[in-house]
Amino acid sequence: MVANTQQKRLSIGIVGGGIGGVAFAVALSRAPDLDVQLFEAAPQFSEIGAGVSFGPNAVRAIQLLGLERSYRRIADASPAPYEDVWFEWRRWHDDAYLTASLAPGCGQSSVHRADFLDAIVANLPEGIAHFGKRCVEVQQNGDGATARFDDGTSFAADILIGYDGIKSAVREHVLSPAQYGDLGPFWSGTYAYRGMIPTTQLEAALEERGADRRLALVPQMYLGPDRHILTFPVKQSELINVVAVITDRSTANPRLPQGEAWVTAVTQQEMLGVFEGWGVASQAILACIPEPTRWALHELPELPFYHRDRVLIVGDAAHAMVPHQGAGAGQALEDAYVLASLLTDQACDRHNAQQVLAAFEAVRHARTCQVQRTSHEAGDLYEYSAPGIGDDEAKISSELETRFDWLWNHDPRDDVLAARGHLGWESPPSLATA
């Protein structure tokens, strides 16, 4: 049993060491009067998946968290003169250009997940992270909360923050299945075939089939009925991240076959069959992925709340979503900034920490639920299935030009100010890394 450190203003246990959890821990660690401990199930920090995309709101959160230098060292951007392009959108069967979504000053800002995690881990002080700690149960009383791990150890703190992902154990404490029913992850009906292609190889393959090699370097999304394919550069543009998506819309509540793994190695033949009849660029891309993996994309329902007394869930533990807006990591980083800003404030202590967690939920819940909902709806739009739009490409193009503005233009400093208002904190905000 590890007891909390009473001389500190507040002790905080963080369950989960992904991008959001580590960024949050780094921000908290800058406050010398906080005791911060992070618990990760894996034997070391690690990320699965390949590329992760950040919209302007996520880049803003990275800057506010004081992690911009770490990020810029590894971030990819669209080449000039396409630096503001988030995606160019094209028709599935002939690669014809439809329109582009522009994110001024940001464009398609992306990183390799593992590289980004390594970059932010470098900012984490020694002694905060603990590995091989898979949380299996959370308990709490009026004084604090305790996380119990599968190795038989436990940790008690004034508050516990669950950054433990879509399969969160902390979520089951906040929203007991016995009381609230099953609020765990469900299959979205969508499979994503994924692969990474050396950029020079894809350029040559496109050229060989008579397609423009520029399609390798500028982020592209090819849209079609029940399917879409997206590409963007990562690893300093050495690799192209490819995601080829198909959605089952034959039933309202699709079910993953019993016993099927979320991630499966499949044949190239299966993937090519799914996109039969697609244009030359799509065929060139898929032909460069000899050993694709197929991901069954899961999401969470919109949860009624994220907080129970001294325990809070954030990031994917609270609002895991399908990746169609490239928004999941951005929401985890916004959460990290807003919560760290409140907890590092001198006005927060172990006596009012519950109220601080409640204020955080009050200002974040509606936004994160809206991002979940619109991420799902974006997939419908890309796949010619949006209500009232369908396969009308003029309407699709018009919608895509402005659809993401509300998401990208958000400033999490406004959330901090709103939360301070909930708490009645009148003094100027003492933002964690302003």
Enzyme catalytic residues: 194
Pick the closest to residue 184 from 80, 100, 298 (CA basis).
298
Q: Which two tokens stand for residue 141?
A: 């009383």
Q: Which two tokens stand for residue 285?
A: 């891309």
- DSSP lists the bridge partners of residue 37 as 13
Q: In degrees, to the nearest 5, what angle opens at C-alpha 334 toward C-alphas 331 and 340?
A: 135
User: Which residue type sits at 376?
Assistant: H
For tokens 């079609």, name the residue: 224
Q: CB of 295 within 8 A of CB of 194?
A: yes
